[in-house]
Structure 1
């Protein structure tokens, strides 16, 4: 009896290149012994809904799109009981593909398709964000609105430059958030312009931002919190840290933890894997170790 595979494709990710490779991708999946059903996403959240509704009918779910598409599939899988979750394959087709790069998934779509049906499954950590989930980054503050506020067509044409162009507009008036942060018995009370909780070797296509020994299934997140600069010297110090020119800064908190809590007097907008994650005054983030299996080479 053939194994069953659901292929969920976002036709708008990247430059819509999935359209040029669809027949070859399906051929690879069929030759790997799968009976394939295809679903083209119709709107935001569609991949999540399809995963929840269809997971029990398939042996594997493979998605093609950006990290946001993968996030939707993982979000759907995380809403199921662990025993109901199925292995996920990922064929990156977005503008940045941070998580695909971290997993070592080939940028060539046909090579990635071969990996997506591999029997080599990586048990990956997934982040719990209150009642939601994320694959590789939860963030607030400077630049975090860029990824979901930047039009898809602009991302397709300009790639990373689109994020930089849109992000530069925010530098005129840097917003800050006064927050209490609790982790591992520690309490920080400070004013931040940016924060990210990550499980990835790059964010926004840029490597070197995240420090420490990074493992995608080590049970901990990498946390980076940037304080509000009070003068140009402090701002230059932050930029030096973020670009790797300096290795340490009193303007930046950087540590690892498996659970962290944020409390603020005002609601703070968050992004989850580059998509809007809502506005919250209380956020609890937990590392759910080895929560899903992702096919790799």
Structure 2
């Protein structure tokens, strides 16, 4: 009898819904439709910060086979941190129901954004092992940004995000473009080191952040590496134009732009550096980021553009960290 119950639990799916999205008619209709089609779907709704992490961790301890997160990139980030508290063999597969203002990760992964299609996909897509970077003691799945870009993301009012979607970031950025200050820092990684006056620092496991900005377009979510973008400080409109031209070319080392891949990166800033982890703000004076390869199993199509190679055969499972 115990074995039967354990097997039944493995087929259960827990949907963790951001409380602000739980009453959306399209979401409720999607849940009802999937249940009517036979999905064993348990719904939990967050009330306050920390709930998604706690619920995701508990689902793993209960032996749930798959956790789906319904919310924005911040909700996904919180749930990922909960799952990473578990031993690798206890982590459920993760599916995404994008309900945020930007949905940068889901969009880059090529996932559906309409609730019913997204929920069906999260329930049925095969699981692929993906990397999870860690900044000190905090995990992220999509991207960490520092400097001016992080300042924009963290200072954009949530009401404006809901009203304008990803366009809110562009609006706030335009308002602040000539009020920013550079962030001097020392960067070290496996293959080198650099002193830089940072305008933007991006550490990509995914490709886009800040409402659709393609900061690390060559990143792959399963290659064991961070894609790093450094944009250095500029002093004039002419410099800014030159930086934008370099950004199109993505040189390994240019006057204003530098791009490379590495398994880890450490940063020592001269003052507090504004950061975002999957859009969630924080500040650090010094930190280290490193990648845990294959730490989670994510529900993805086999032709997902962020997988390093087309996958055939059996779906992957999360590797031990």
Q: Normalization by structure 2: what TM-score? A: 0.83
Number of the residue aligned with 2:290: 286
DSSP-derived class of the 2:120 partner: helix
Number of the residue aligned with 1:215: 220
**Contact residue 17 and residue 93 of structure 1 kept, 8 A:** no
- Mapped to 1, the partners of 2:77 and 2:139 lie a distance apart of 8
Out of 198, 204, 213, which is 2:204 matched to?
198
Give yes or no for the alignment of 1:166 onto 2:172: yes
RMSD: 2.1
The count of corresponding residues between Structure 1 and Structure 2 is 290
Number of the residue aligned with 2:235: 230
Out of 116, 119, 130, which is 2:122 matched to?
116
Please give the residue correspondences for 1:54-203 in structure 2 after superposition, counting only pairs within 5 Å.
54-57=59-62, 58-118=64-124, 120-203=126-209
* CA shift for structure 1 position 9: 0.8
Give yes or no for the alignment of 1:6 onto 2:14: yes
Give yes or no for the alignment of 1:295 onto 2:299: yes
Q: Residue 119 and residue 54 in structure 1: after superposition, are their counterparts in 2 closer, same or farther (change >3 A)?
A: same
Q: Residue 207 and residue 272 in structure 1: after superposition, are their counterparts in 2 closer, same or farther (change >3 A)?
A: closer
Which blocks of at least 5 consecutive residues in structure 1 are unaligned?
Answer: none
DSSP-derived class of the 2:169 partner: helix
- Mapped to 1, the partners of 2:157 and 2:20 lie a distance apart of 11
Richer in strand (by share): 1
**Contact residue 118 and residue 296 of structure 1 kept, 8 A:** no
Q: Normalization by structure 1: what TM-score? A: 0.90
Number of the residue aligned with 2:45: 40
Q: Residue 38 and residue 60 in structure 1: after superposition, are their counterparts in 2 closer, same or farther (change >3 A)?
A: same
Q: Residue 211 and residue 175 in structure 1: after superposition, are their counterparts in 2 closer, same or farther (change >3 A)?
A: same
- Mapped to 2, the partners of 1:30 and 1:124 lie a distance apart of 31
- Mapped to 2, the partners of 1:203 and 1:219 lie a distance apart of 20
Q: Residue 230 and residue 103 in structure 1: after superposition, are their counterparts in 2 closer, same or farther (change >3 A)?
A: same
**Contact residue 143 and residue 170 of structure 1 kept, 8 A:** no
Number of the residue aligned with 2:273: 268
Deviations 1:22-55 (A, max 9, x none): 1332431563542x32111112332112222332
**Contact residue 200 and residue 216 of structure 1 kept, 8 A:** yes
Q: Residue 228 and residue 79 in structure 1: after superposition, are their counterparts in 2 closer, same or farther (change >3 A)?
A: same
Q: Residue 18 and residue 126 in structure 1: after superposition, are their counterparts in 2 closer, same or farther (change >3 A)?
A: farther
* CA shift for structure 1 position 175: 1.5
* CA shift for structure 1 position 131: 0.8
